[in-house]
Structure 1
Amino acid sequence: MLYSPKWSKAKKHLKSFICDSLQSRIDFQVINYRRAHDQLGRAVITVDKIEKLSMCTITAEREEFRRTWDKRIEMEDFDFDDVEMNRSLQDQSHEQLKKDGIYGQYDFFDALEKYFNAPIKDSLKSTDILIKILCLLDRRVGKRTLLKMKETILTEHVLVQDFYKLRCEAENILVAV
C-alpha cells in the first residue's frame, strides 16, 4: 500500500507545521523498496541529517510475527484455522510494538492521517508515540505548552522525551530530562 495522496504533497504539508527553530534541522523521508512484494519500505525522521527514528516495515512485521508466535507458545494454541484468534493475537502484538516504539512505514502513514485530521489539542493527548513526536515538532505548540509538559514528560516513551528535549533546546527552554 503506497501512501495516498502523494508523499511529496504530504511531506510539504508536514514540513509546513514544523516550528521555525527546527525547520532546517528536521526532515522526513520515505524509502520504498520496489522489489518488495508490497513495495513498502521505511519512513525516517532525521535531525541534522541523522536518523532518529526509522520505521521499517520489514523489521516491524518480523517482530510482530515473532511476538505473535511467542503468544501462541505461551497459550499452547496452534489452531491456525481460528481466524478471530489469529487476528486478535496479531492485533495485540501490533499494539505492543507501537508501545515499544517499533513501527512500520504504514504506521507512520496512519499517524500522519490522524495528525493531519485532528486538532492539535487532541493530538497532544494522543497515546500514539508518533503523533506525540509530530506535536512536539509543531509550530502550533508554543513555549507555555512545552513548559506545562515538563511535569508529565518523564512518563512518556524515551523517543517522546528525546524529541521534547530537542524542541526545548531549540526554543532555549531549560529542562532537565
Structure 2
Amino acid sequence: MSWSKLKQQLESFRCPALDGRVEYRATSYRYLIDKPGICYIAVDKKNVLNMSDTTSTIRWYQSEQEIKNDPNIQVPINNEDIEAIRKDTKGTVPEDRLKVIARSRKISEYAKDILSAQASLSKSNFIVIANKFLTTSIEDSLESNDILLNILALVDRRVGKKRILNMTEKMKLKHPIVQYFYELRRSTL
C-alpha cells in the first residue's frame, strides 16, 4: 500500500479531538534504494516520535539501571508478588525486606520489557507496523508490547472515554512515549 493511502486510513481512525494536532509524516529518499525513509509522528507540528532520533523530548533508556534509578517510575506491587518471594525464600526473609525484593524483581522485569520494546521500535518499519495496526483489533493493539501499536491505538477514535479512564494503572507500566500519548488523549476527554 502506498504511503498516501496508508496515511489516509490512519487519519480516518484518528480521534476527532486530535484532528490537526496529531499528524503522521514520512520522508523518502527517492534515489537511494536501500534507504526506506523516515516516518514519524508529530503533535502540534512538533516531531514527538521519530524512531531513529535520540534527541526527542521523550526519554529513551540506555540501560536497565537508568530505569531502576528513575524516580518517575512507579511499579505497583501486590500480595501475590510478595507471596512468590516468600515461597522462593522459604520464609527466612523478614517481612519488610520481602517488599524490597519484590519491587526490585518487578522493576527488573519492567526494565527488560521497556528495553526490548525500544530495541524493536528502533528496528521496526513504521509502514509495516501501521499495516499490522489496521488489520488487528484495538484490544490486541492496546495489550501489545509494541510501542507503536500502543500509540496508534491510543489516538484511535474507537477507544472510548470509559476505556481511556480505566487504563490508568496499565499505562504506568508502559514506555514514557506511550504514557505521553495516553496523557494527550486524556486531555481531550
What's 1:12 paired with?
Answer: 8
Query: What is the correspondence of 1:160-175 to structure 2 with a 5 Å cutoff?
Result: 160-171=178-189
Question: Which of 39, 49, 71 does residue 53 from structure 1 map onto?
Answer: 49
Alpha-carbon distance between aligned partners in 1 of 2:52 and 2:36, rounded to the nearest angstrom:
9
Counterpart code for 1:51: N
Cα distance change of structure 1 residues 131 and 117 upon mapping to structure 2, 3 Å threshold: same
Could you say what the CA RMSD is over the residues aligned between the two structures, in angstroms?
2.3
| Runs of 4+ residues deviating >4 angstroms | 95-98
Query: What is the correspondence of 1:21-40 to structure 2 with a 5 Å cutoff?
Result: 21-40=17-36
Alpha-carbon distance between aligned partners in 1 of 2:115 and 2:30, rounded to the nearest angstrom:
25
Cα distance change of structure 1 residues 98 and 46 upon mapping to structure 2, 3 Å threshold: farther
Deviation at 1:38, TM superposition (A): 1.3
What's 1:87 paired with?
Answer: none
Return the TM-score normalized by structure 1: 0.67
Question: Which of 84, 105, 109 does residue 127 from structure 2 map onto?
Answer: 109
Cα distance change of structure 1 residues 150 and 101 upon mapping to structure 2, 3 Å threshold: farther
Counterpart code for 2:12: S
Query: What is the correspondence of 1:144-163 to structure 2 with a 5 Å cutoff?
Result: 144-163=162-181
Alpha-carbon distance between aligned partners in 2 of 1:16 and 1:152, rounded to the nearest angstrom:
26
Unaligned runs of 5+ in 2: 54-112
Unaligned runs of 5+ in 1: 58-94, 172-177
Q: Deviations over 1:110-150 (max 9, x none)?
A: 21121000111221111100000000000000011101111
Conservation of the 8 A alpha-carbon contact between 2:114 and 2:175: no
Counterpart code for 2:130: L
Conservation of the 8 A alpha-carbon contact between 1:55 and 1:103: yes
* Residue aligned with 1:155, SS: coil
Alpha-carbon distance between aligned partners in 2 of 1:31 and 1:101, rounded to the nearest angstrom:
22
Q: How many residues align?
A: 130
* Residue aligned with 1:140, SS: coil
Cα distance change of structure 1 residues 139 and 55 upon mapping to structure 2, 3 Å threshold: same
Deviation at 1:102, TM superposition (A): 6.9
Q: Does 1:44 align with 2:40?
A: yes
* Residue aligned with 2:9, SS: helix
Alpha-carbon distance between aligned partners in 2 of 1:141 and 1:164, rounded to the nearest angstrom:
11
Structure 1 or 2, whichever has the larger Rg, is: 2
Return the TM-score normalized by structure 2: 0.63
Counterpart code for 2:133: Y
Deviation at 1:55, TM superposition (A): 2.5
